[in-house]
């Protein structure tokens, strides 16, 4: 991944993570409700990351990529069920876990896309 790609990925991933954190914070007292809004943001993030690396993804391919990366969301779901309903604390917990999960997914996908790029060899 070159510097330009890394800067673009940084903006895309941090932007999506921030939006997801806001959604999760605002909907903390309704368990599971934020996923309806977070998943489309993450799908858009993956499509945008693909574009950075010249990889064209349609929505179904982005959803498949997201599905393989969402194993990390199990911990987020557990924390939301156990503590997410507590006003204030639950909002902060949901926001921070949504941010962290989205960041993790974004960088995993970006690094995966970068690894698929052809490398130029100079002799």
pLDDT, tens digit (0-9, with 9 covering 90-100), for 40-72: 899 899 999 999 999 888 777 777 777 766 654
- Sign of the C-alpha dihedral, residues 34, 37, 43, 47? negative
Query: CA–CA distance from 41 to each of 4, 18, 115 (Å)?
Result: 23, 10, 24
Q: Which three-class secondary structure state does DSSP give residue 11? A: helix
**Which residue bears the tokens 């943001």?**
41
Q: Integer distance in angstroms from the first to the last C-alpha of the chain?
A: 21
pLDDT tens, per residue, the chain with 123 residues: 899 999 999 999 999 999 999 998 887 666 666 778 888 899 899 999 999 999 888 777 777 777 766 654 555 565 566 665 567 777 888 888 889 889 989 999 999 899 887 654 445
Specify the pTM.
Answer: 0.79
pLDDT for 31 equals 63
Query: CA–CA distance from 50 to each of 32, 79, 119, 123 (Å)?
Result: 28, 30, 17, 30
Q: State how far the Cα of 50 lies from the Cα of 55, in Å rounded to an integer.
A: 5
Judge contact between 73 and 101, C-beta under 8 A. yes
- Which residues 6+ apart lie within 8 Å of 7 measured at CB? none
């Amino acid at each position: 991944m070159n510097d330009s790609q890394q800067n673009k990925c940084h903006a895309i991933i941090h932007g999506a993570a921030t939006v997801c954190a806001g959604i999760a914070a605002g909907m903390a007292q309704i368990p599971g409700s934020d996923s309806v809004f977070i998943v489309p943001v993450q799908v858009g993030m993956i499509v945008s990351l693909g574009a950075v690396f010249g990889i064209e993804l349609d929505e179904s391919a982005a959803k498949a990529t997201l599905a393989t990366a969402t194993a990390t969301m199990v911990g987020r779901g557990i924390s939301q069920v156990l503590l997410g309903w507590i006003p204030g604390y639950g909002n902060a917990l949901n926001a921070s876990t949504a941010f962290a999960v989205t960041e993790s997914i974004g960088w995993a996908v970006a690094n995966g896309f970068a690894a698929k790029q052809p490398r130029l060899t100079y002799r």
